[in-house]
């Protein structure tokens, strides 16, 4: 496939393994990624992860602000195929109709489940036990194109969004390279998505990050690991926002306590009442401080027992 002229479109870390696999196996003639953006408190102008890989491989980089209005420079490269992975913009019909072998997307779910920009987070948050990768043709609507191939992966109870992200990124690159020869030869069975089975994994909002202690312990557990290590869930204690990275499920039930109430202090954990029992905080980040274990957090308290009875909001 070294003669196959590919334009790759992607932006975040998740896309890097896919781009690298294409660099090794095809002729990547251009990379399209989002414009550089200001990042952090110091507002440093930062390249996307995909742009860095492209420059390291001397590949032409195109960074349209709005691809609907700036597509001609992409078409002018005369690609045989366009492959996208977490690019972040909808492609206009002019691009979708151009390549000989079409526009192909690598999506991090088993479509039609979890269309959208945060399928990995939502798979964990919503309690899925399996997810996977879909290779698909692109359409004019979000993630609605015909399915070409899929491969599933188990979501382990020890997974968080970071570990599952890394597994799916590798799986996406692997499945794409397995599928490409069949796309080129035309030996594929296009599967139309069943619209009745569609669910969504929309981008995570600030509101989504807040922990609702009125939910069950497994729901709270999944919520927290589904946002760890980014963007990270949080709750408020004494008007202070505390980010919560890691919890375990407790055994005790406190029927007469309020949801969100601190009910027990362990050597290295804080027990909090939820609707059907207890979850135990293990790793947190208090406002203005670094990420730390609860054991280290306790070291900053003269009277840590004063925490008992306080309520997370």
Asked whether the bond before 109 is cis by omega within 30 degrees of 0, the reply is no
Query: 109 among the known binding-site residues?
Result: yes
Query: 19 among the known binding-site residues?
Result: no
Secondary structure of residue 69 in the 3-state scheme: coil
d(C-alpha 181, C-alpha 189), whole Å: 13
Helices and strands, counts by H and E, the chain: 9, 15
Intra-chain end-to-end CA distance of the chain, in Å: 56
Instruction: Compute the Cα dihedral for 299, 305, 308, 313 and give only its sign.
Output: negative
Give 125's DSSP letter.
Answer: H
Query: 171 among the known binding-site residues?
Result: no
Burial of 285 (0-12, 13-18, 19+ CB in 10 A): middle
d(C-alpha 151, C-alpha 168), whole Å: 10
Residue 71 in contact with residue 92, Cβ under 8 Å?
yes
Q: Which residues of 168-193 are buried (b: 16+ CB within 10 A; e: fewer)?
A: bbebbbebbbebbeebbeeebeeeeb
Beta pairing partners, 61:
31
Residue 73 in contact with residue 95, Cβ under 8 Å?
no
Query: 112 among the known binding-site residues?
Result: yes
Residue 205 in contact with residue 119, Cβ under 8 Å?
no
Pick from 144, 134, 9, 15: nearest CA to 67: 9
Binding residues for (6S)-5,6,7,8-tetrahydrofolate: 109-112
Binding residues: 109-112
């Amino acid at each position: 496939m070294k003669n196959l002229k590919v334009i790759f479109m992607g932006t975040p870390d998740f896309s890097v393994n896919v781009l690298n696999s294409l660099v090794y196996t095809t002729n990547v003639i251009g990379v399209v990624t989002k414009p550089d953006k200001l990042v952090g408190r110091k507002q440093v102008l930062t390249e996307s992860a995909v742009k860095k890989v492209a420059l390291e491989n001397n590949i032409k980089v195109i960074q349209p602000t709005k691809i609907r209005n700036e597509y001609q420079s992409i078409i002018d490269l005369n690609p045989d195929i366009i492959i996208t992975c977490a690019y972040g913009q909808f492609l206009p019909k002019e691009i979708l109709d151009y390549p000989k072998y079409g526009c192909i997307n690598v999506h991090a779910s088993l479509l039609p489940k979890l269309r959208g920009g945060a399928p990995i987070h939502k798979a964990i948050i919503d309690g899925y036990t399996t997810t996977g990768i879909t290779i698909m043709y692109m359409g004019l609507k979000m993630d609605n194109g015909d399915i070409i191939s899929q491969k599933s992966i188990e979501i382990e109870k020890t997974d968080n969004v970071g570990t599952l992200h890394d597994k799916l990124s590798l799986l996406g690159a692997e499945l794409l390279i397995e599928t490409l020869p069949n796309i080129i030869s035309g030996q594929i069975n296009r599967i139309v998505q069943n619209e009745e089975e569609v669910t969504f994994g929309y981008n995570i909002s600030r509101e989504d990050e807040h922990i609702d202690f009125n939910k069950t312990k497994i729901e709270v557990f999944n919520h927290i690991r589904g946002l760890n290590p980014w963007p990270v869930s949080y709750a408020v204690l004494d008007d202070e926002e505390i980010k919560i990275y890691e919890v375990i499920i407790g055994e005790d039930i406190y029927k007469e306590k309020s949801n969100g109430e601190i009910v027990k202090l362990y050597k290295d954990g804080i027990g909090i009442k939820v609707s059907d029992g207890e979850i135990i905080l293990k790793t947190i980040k208090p406002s203005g401080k670094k990420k730390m274990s609860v054991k280290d957090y306790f070291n900053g308290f003269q009277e840590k027992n004063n925490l008992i009875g306080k309520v997370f909001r």
